[in-house]
């Protein structure tokens, strides 16, 4: 543990200096979970030079004990679901970041905002008090919402997260100002308390318009979904988009494609990408798992369902290839970033198709969500033989990595258009050029009881050096874009705004229209591959990695089965991981 603390301090010293008006602070990050947003906050605070400890908010006793141990100058609570004990907020400055505008109160803010189709939303940083979301305001931001309803996860990880980071930056400048006083919320806006959104609030009928149904499902995407009935099966629905006009009776499943099903609505139709059986209809002894809709309904779909060649493409296309002039794009548009065995096969086919085109560069990027988080743990857990499916998935993703590494005819660019983890990070490292959208978070390591593959024993040291590679895998900590660039995980960082990033990315790819630059890049790649792989072929790297993975998957030597079940079942950890809870480390010194 002491070595973790020393490593933490050494890494802090390598970062750029914080803004001159901002003093270094001891910050306790109090979180409901260490998800994409809280990881981004953690990375940014450390990047600014602050000392950051993390505590998972499990109960009043553990929260109070953490505050006493850390004795922070600021407690930050980004989107915290739990109440902060009175003893804590009265003694230490405690700021809650709430995903709603000034005056908004309640635990289902984003769900209501999407369902109601509001045109503007916001984020508020406010002082913790006894009543939830009712304290004085430290900072606030507003932003427009698109007409096309976003999914809750894309709203949370996009404009809401950006507004939260802006509010936190303002809080950091105010916390040390003795003259600052937060503003009572009633002086800024009328308060409105919304209750927790329940399934009765989310309910819809299939004879309603398709766009209204999609809005309700997107407001519940990620969790908890919307309960409905499809093909006579009671399920929770996720991953919805509007489909083409249909003349079939509402509620009829009329087509299936790429794991999704098309259901007729009152006007139009709805694509459902993922479903989860309700608990009371799930097989005995098995917890329901969110899976592709066609998998969940496999025994209930009507015969003679329309084939992919006779159905219009749905909005969420999964893994696909598209071309823009001299640039080819392989898009890993995977729900929650999970790349299944079938998804890997589609990606491999797309890469091979792209390699046969006369484009100058091939870009591998994500869709609207994460870039990629590696193998598909939900499908693995649901398989008759999870170990066998895990093996099929890891060997399939390795084939994708190999294709990316060994393409000698075009410049290969990997773009972290969204956050990435584990094998999704390693997959990208085989490209000639790796870029990232500003503000994404990378987790370049393996957990879940897996040692990992994706040819990372070749690509990771090649990019960051053997010492940094070992440290990243050992420390298992998130990496923000600034640190990723310093380490060499990424070469360039593009704009945060997704639309601007896509334009910037295309301009980066168009650089390789320049014949001299393209030929120099391809020549350097060929020389590097010839040198490296003559000393040790990719087969040797993969054989070593898969030898370890075989023991992880089939012998379960590091608890892969239990870790996988906990992840799929959304089980909360019993305690804060030691690597984050620096305030609980032996020898921890405040300041």
CB atoms within 10 A of CB 229: 12
Backbone angles phi, psi at 300, to 5 degrees: -125, -5
Domain topology for 2-196+576-584: Rossmann fold (3.40.50)
Distance CA 42, CA 168 (A): 11
Distance CA 59, CA 63 (A): 6
The closest alpha carbon to 301, from 348, 252, 241, 335, belongs to 252
Dihedral angle, C-alpha 239, 243, 248, 250, nearest 10 °: 40
Angle, helix 210-218 to helix 109-116, in steps of 10 degrees: 170
Q: Where in the chain is the domain with CATH 3.40.50.170?
A: 2-196+576-584
Handedness of CA 202, 208, 213, 215 (dihedral sign): negative
Distance CA 51, CA 72 (A): 9
The closest alpha carbon to 161, from 46, 53, 78, 80, belongs to 78
Domain 319-568 sits in CATH at: 3.90.226.10
Out of 3.55.50.30, 3.40.50.720, 3.10.25.10, 1.10.40.30, select the CATH number for domain 224-310. Answer: 3.10.25.10
Ramachandran class of 585: left when φ > 0, alpha when ψ lies in -120 to 50, beta otherwise: beta
Distance CA 553, CA 390 (A): 7
Give the pLDDT of residue 586: 84
Q: Which residues of 140-163 are buried (b: 16+ CB within 10 A; e: fewer)?
A: bbebebeeebbbbbbbbbbbbbbb
Distance CA 441, CA 448 (A): 19
What is residue 569's three-state secondary structure?
A: coil
Handedness of CA 351, 354, 355, 361 (dihedral sign): negative
Distance CA 515, CA 524 (A): 14
Contact (Cβ atoms closer than 8 angstroms) between residue 89 and residue 80: no
**Assigned token pair, 110:** 């984003």
**Assigned token pair, 468:** 């940094």
Q: Where in the chain is the domain with CATH 3.90.226.10?
A: 319-568
The closest alpha carbon to 147, from 211, 99, 239, 226, belongs to 211
Tens-level pLDDT at each residue, the chain (591 residues): 333 333 333 333 334 444 545 689 999 999 999 999 999 999 999 999 999 999 999 999 999 999 999 999 999 999 999 999 999 999 999 999 999 999 999 999 999 999 999 999 999 999 999 998 899 999 999 999 999 999 999 999 999 999 999 999 999 999 989 999 999 988 888 889 999 999 999 999 999 999 999 999 999 999 999 999 999 999 999 999 999 998 999 999 999 988 999 999 999 999 999 999 998 887 766 889 999 999 999 989 988 776 555 444 444 468 999 999 999 999 999 999 999 999 999 999 999 999 999 999 999 999 999 999 999 999 999 999 999 999 999 999 999 999 999 999 999 999 999 999 999 999 999 999 999 999 999 999 999 999 999 999 999 999 999 999 999 999 999 999 999 999 999 999 999 999 999 999 999 999 999 999 999 999 999 999 999 999 999 999 999 999 999 999 999 999 999 999 999 999 988 899 999 999 998 877 665
Q: Please provide the DSSP assignment of 494-520 as one string.
A: E-SSHHHHHHHHHHHHHGGGSHHHHHH
- Is the full-model pTM beyond 0.75? yes
Element (H, E) at 276: strand 269-277
**Assigned token pair, 452:** 């990992």
Q: Where in the chain is the domain with CATH 3.10.25.10?
A: 224-310
Backbone angles phi, psi at 350, to 5 degrees: -65, -40
């Amino acid at each position: 543990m002491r070595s973790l603390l020393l490593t933490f301090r050494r890494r802090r010293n390598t970062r750029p200096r914080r803004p001159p008006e901002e003093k270094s602070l001891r910050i306790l990050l109090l979180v409901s979970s260490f998800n994409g947003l809280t990881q981004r906050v953690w990375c940014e605070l450390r990047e600014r030079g602050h000392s950051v400890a993390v505590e998972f908010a499990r109960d009043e006793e553990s929260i109070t004990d953490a505050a006493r141990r850390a004795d922070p100058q600021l407690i930050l609570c980004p989107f915290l679901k739990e109440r902060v004990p009175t003893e804590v907020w009265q003694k230490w400055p405690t700021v809650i970041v709430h995903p709603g505008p000034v005056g908004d109160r309640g635990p289902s803010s984003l769900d209501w905002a999407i369902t109601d189709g509001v045109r503007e939303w916001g984020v508020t940083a406010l002082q913790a008090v006894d009543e939830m979301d009712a304290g004085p305001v430290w900072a606030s931001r507003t932003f427009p919402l698109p007409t096309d309803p976003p999914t809750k996860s894309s709203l949370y990880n996009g404009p809401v997260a950006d507004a939260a980071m802006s509010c936190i930056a303002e809080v950091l400048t105010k916390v040390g100002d003795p003259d600052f006083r937060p503003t009572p919320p009633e002086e800024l806006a009328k308060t409105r308390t919304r209750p927790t959104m329940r399934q009765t609030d989310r309910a819809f009928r299939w004879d309603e318009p398709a766009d209204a149904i999609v809005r309700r499902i997107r407001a519940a995407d990620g969790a908890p979904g919307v309960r409905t009935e499809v093909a006579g099966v009671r399920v929770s629905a996720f991953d919805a988009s509007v489909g083409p006009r249909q003349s079939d009776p509402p509620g009829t499943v009329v087509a299936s494609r790429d794991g999704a099903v098309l259901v007729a609505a009152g006007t139009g139709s709805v694509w459902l990408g993922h479903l989860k059986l309700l608990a009371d209809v799930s097989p005995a002894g098995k917890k329901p798992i969110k899976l592709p809709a066609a998998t969940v309904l496999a025994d209930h779909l009507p015969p003679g369902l329309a084939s992919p060649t006779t159905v219009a493409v749905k909005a969420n296309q999964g893994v696909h290839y598209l071309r823009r002039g001299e640039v080819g794009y392989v898009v890993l548009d995977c729900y929650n970033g999970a790349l299944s065995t079938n998804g890997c096969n589609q990606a491999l086919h797309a890469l091979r198709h792209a390699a046969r085109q006369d484009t100058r560069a091939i870009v591998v990027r994500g869709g609207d969500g994460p870039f990629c988080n590696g193998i598909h743990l939900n499908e693995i857990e649901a398989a008759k033989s999870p170990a066998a499916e895990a093996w099929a998935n890891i060997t399939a993703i390795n084939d994708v990595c190999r294709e990316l590494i060994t393409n000698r005819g075009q410049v290969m660019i990997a773009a972290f258009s969204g956050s990435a983890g584990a094998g999704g990070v390693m997959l990208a490292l085989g490209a000639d050029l790796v870029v990232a959208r500003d503000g994404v978070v990378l987790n370049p390591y393996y957990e879940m009881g897996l040692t990992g593959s994706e040819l990372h024993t070749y690509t990771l040291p090649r990019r960051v050096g053997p010492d940094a590679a070992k440290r990243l895998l050992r420390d298992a900590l998130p990496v923000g874009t600034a640190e990723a660039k310093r380490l060499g995980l990424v070469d360039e960082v593009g704009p945060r705004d997704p639309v601007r990033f896509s334009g910037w990315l295309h301009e980066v790819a168009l650089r390789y229209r320049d014949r001299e630059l393209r030929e120099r890049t391809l020549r350097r790649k060929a020389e590097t591959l010839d040198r490296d792989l003559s000393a040790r072929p990719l087969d040797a790297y993969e054989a070593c990695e898969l030898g370890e993975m075989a023991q992880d998957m089939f012998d379960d030597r590091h608890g892969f089965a239990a870790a996988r079940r906990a992840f799929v079942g959304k089980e909360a950890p019993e305690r804060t991981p030691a690597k984050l809870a620096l305030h609980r480390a032996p020898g921890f010194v405040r300041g």
